């Protein structure tokens, strides 16, 4: 596993801060947000990209790719992939995606075009802006020549990436896949656009309290950035090289709402179908689920609809399973969210503890489940669910299980 986030740029720091209920959200520093409705974000502050890339390489990549490279390096090193003499790099692929790609590059080069003309546009603009440069660069970096591309499904991007990567292994296209997501949406164009559609919080005076999933006073999500990468591997290949197995991806489900370009289906049926499909593929019942890391964006619509979806998919078990939204601390990293939250699920399985939903103070009658309010909780986690929903009606669910 590898992590770059506003609460930590390595797995250990990320996990310790989440369990402590520490928020990574603060005032926006990347640009002058004085006139913006939302002036807070979850910015990555502690990443030293010089630990991963030389100056020339770093300049040729958008910031979202910096996050992908750092998280990917951490994951590859933890997995010990490059230490395995028998590694067949033609059987190792990369599916690390981004919801919006190089938005900072697009913004910068649009300004260059407007102010200085066509001749001054950087020849690196296209490779810096396209979302699939994250897997492209990672494959070049390590010489991995297996399946290599990116998917885009808004806030479900990383979740779909991990799920689809697992199917590549199951159907024999690869033995190992790097999978996850990376995002840098905390630029003026991105935040301004989300703010104009009133999707973002306006709680600017108390940044650490701005993200309030499932709380009655929630008023929009907090934009964030970062990256998360997992090394997925077939069981036989992992055992053959003596890998440390962190968990098993047992279930993957996906669906579409066919309802609205930004709003979720108000009945939650699409999201429920994705989770029901994941349970069926894992051979589990709702009662088997030990923990749910919810999409939990802190928007009025999402949290209400997701609560309905969990009730539809889990039935009575929805009322007893611990559910938390780590976006209460990290904010919403869009195309990276599903990777960061999948890592949370694996760490919860490993350590037998689930992180809280902080800032949960005023119960909402429409959100009446156990959201692990404000304090981490000891739970023997055997099967953990991660759900993510995206604009366009994209729904995805993953189930991670303990391997004894």
Q: What pLDDT was estimated at residue 111?
A: 97
Query: In the 3-class helix/strand/coil scheme, how is 6-62 assigned residue by residue?
Result: CCECCHHHHHHHHHCCCCCCEECCCCCCCCCCCCEEECCCCCCHHHCCCHHHHHCCC
What's phi and psi for 377, nearest 5 deg?
A: -135, 140
Token reading at 337: 């969210």
Mean pLDDT of 372-397: 98
Structural contact between residues 201 and 221, judged by C-beta atoms closer than 8 angstroms: yes
- Which runs of consecutive H residues, i.e. helices, occur in 205-284? 235-240, 269-282
Token reading at 330: 């990290």
Structural contact between residues 288 and 399, judged by C-beta atoms closer than 8 angstroms: no
Q: What is the pLDDT of residues 181-200, one digit of tens each?
A: 999 999 999 999 999 999 99
> Cα(328)–Cα(210) distance, rounded to whole angstroms?
8
Nearest to 71 by CA among 163, 183, 234: 183
- E strands, 152-256, where? 176-184, 225-233, 248-256
Token reading at 36: 């913006």
Q: Tell me, yes or no, if the pTM score tops 0.85.
A: yes
Q: What is the DSSP letter of 222?
A: P
Q: What is the pLDDT of residues 346-364, one digit of tens each?
A: 999 999 999 999 999 999 9
Asked whether the predicted pLDDT for residue 404 surpasses 90, the reply is no
How many Cβ atoms are within 10 Å of 157's Cβ, its own excluded? 32
**Active site residues per annotation:** 155, 295, 332
Asked whether the predicted pLDDT for residue 218 surpasses 90, the reply is yes
> Cα(124)–Cα(380) distance, rounded to whole angstroms?
49
Percent of the chain with pLDDT over 90: 100
Q: What is the mean pLDDT of the chain?
A: 98
């Amino acid at each position: 596993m590898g992590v770059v986030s506003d609460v930590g740029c390595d797995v250990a720091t990320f996990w310790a801060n989440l369990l402590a209920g520490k928020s990574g959200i603060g005032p926006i520093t990347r640009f002058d947000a004085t006139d913006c409705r939302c002036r807070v974000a979850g910015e990555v502050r502690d990443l030293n990209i010089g630990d991963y890339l030389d100056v020339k390489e770093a300049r040729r990549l958008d910031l979202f790719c910096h996050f992908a490279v750092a998280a990917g390096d951490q994951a590859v090193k933890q997995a010990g992939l490059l230490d395995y003499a028998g590694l067949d790099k033609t059987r190792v692929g990369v599916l690390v995606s981004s919801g919006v790609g190089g938005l900072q590059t697009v913004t910068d080069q649009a300004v260059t075009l407007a102010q200085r003309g066509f001749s001054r546009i950087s020849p690196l603009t296209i490779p810096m802006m396209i979302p699939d440069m994250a897997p492209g660069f990672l494959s070049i970096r390590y010489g991995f020549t297996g399946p290599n591309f990116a998917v885009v499904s808004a806030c479900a991007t990383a979740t779909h990436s991990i799920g689809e990567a697992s199917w590549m292994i199951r159907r024999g296209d690869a033995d190992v896949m790097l999978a996850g997501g990376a995002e840098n949406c905390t630029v003026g164009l991105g935040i301004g656009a989300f703010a104009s559609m009133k999707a973002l919080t306006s709680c600017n005076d108390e940044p650490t309290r701005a993200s309030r999933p499932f709380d009655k006073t929630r008023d929009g999500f907090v934009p964030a950035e970062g990256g998360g990468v997992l090394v997925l591997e077939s069981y036989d290949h992992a055992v053959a090289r003596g890998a440390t197995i962190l968990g098993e991806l047992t279930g993957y489900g996906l669906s579409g709402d066919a309802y609205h370009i930004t709003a979720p289906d108000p009945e939650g049926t699409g999201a429920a179908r994705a989770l029901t499909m994941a349970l069926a593929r894992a051979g589990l019942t709702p009662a088997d689920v030990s923990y749910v890391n919810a999409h939990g964006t802190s928007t009025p619509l999402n949290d209400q609809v997701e609560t309905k979806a969990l009730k539809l998919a889990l039935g009575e078990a929805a009322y007893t399973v611990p559910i938390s939204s780590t976006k209460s601390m990290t904010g919403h990293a869009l195309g990276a969210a599903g990777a960061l939250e999948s890592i949370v699920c694996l760490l919860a399985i490993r350590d037998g503890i689930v992180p809280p939903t902080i800032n949960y103070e005023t119960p909402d009658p429409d959100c009446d489940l156990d959201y692990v309010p404000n304090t981490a909780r000891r739970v023997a986690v055997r099967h953990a669910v991660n759900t993510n929903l995206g604009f366009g009606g994209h729904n995805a669910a993953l189930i991670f299980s303990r391997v004894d």
